[in-house]
Structure 1
Amino acid sequence: MLEEFVNDPFFGIFLTLFFYLMGLKLHKKWQLAIFTPLIFAIVCVIIF
């Protein structure tokens, strides 16, 4: 069941959007360059 969910192409889109929104929230709270939403999303997707 989990394998089917992870292999779905929409999973990658959802994961990227989720990390982008999380980076947006973190960037508003702390003005650090690492929390720039796009950079944060790319790094998290690569790590995941």
Structure 2
Amino acid sequence: MGVTVFVEGEEESGSPSLGRLLAAYRDVLAADVIVIADSDNWSSDVRR
């Protein structure tokens, strides 16, 4: 099994380069499974 980790660091600014990057490297970045870990910042002193 091979595992590749891709970290996208422009999320907070709207990911302006992501679309072009994915289009340019489509074959290299092809995957069987994609896991997206995106959530709020968690704090133990904030009621939810």
Scaled by the length of structure 1, what TM-score is found?
0.24
- Greater relative contact order, per chain length (Cα 8 Å cut-off, separation 6+): 1
Scaled by the length of structure 2, what TM-score is found?
0.24
